[in-house]
Amino acid sequence: MAVAEFVSYQLTTGEKHLGIVTVKLYGKLILRFKWMERKDGKGCFPNAPSYKIVEDGEERYIPAILLDSRSEQEELEQLIRNGVKAVTSVKGVRPIQMEQSTFASAPSYEPKQDDCPF
């Protein structure tokens, strides 16, 4: 996988999502994902922001973040899962059951506004 680093997990309250996950990809791009609980309540998953479009009277959502490689996308999602698990277990935030991965997550820190290159 391309170089990816787990940056932070920010807990949100009163929202449909549980929190916001920030990752740095290729050492240059800051990406943020919503951390969502599954409808059945059995686990959570990272969800990229999306845009709603209407085509032929049908609503469709297009993800704003999509890696061209399916394997890299899966590795990025696993990095996010591992990072959220590590942060929530340390900070005492509601624990989330996740499978183990071979990818290690970097120490967590809160990025400054100037960290984004654009």
Model confidence pLDDT, tens digit, residues 60-86: 999 998 888 999 999 999 999 999 999
Rounded to an integer, the average pLDDT of 92-104 is 39
CA torsion 42-74-3-81 (nearest 10°) is 10
Question: Which residues are CB-contacts of 18 (< 8 A; sequence separation ≥ 6)?
Answer: 11, 12, 35, 36, 37, 44, 94
- How many domains is the chain built from? 1
CA 96 to chain centroid, in Å, comes to: 14
Which helix (H) or strand (E) segment holds residue 14: the answer is none
pLDDT exceeds cutoff 80 at 98: no
Q: What pLDDT score was predicted for residue 16? A: 85
Q: How confident is the model at residue 97 (pLDDT cuts 50, 70, 90)?
A: very low
State pTM to two decimals: 0.68
Q: What pLDDT score was predicted for residue 84? A: 92
Q: What pLDDT score was predicted for residue 92? A: 56
Q: Which domain holds residue 102?
A: 4-115
Q: How confident is the model at residue 112 (pLDDT cuts 50, 70, 90)?
A: very low
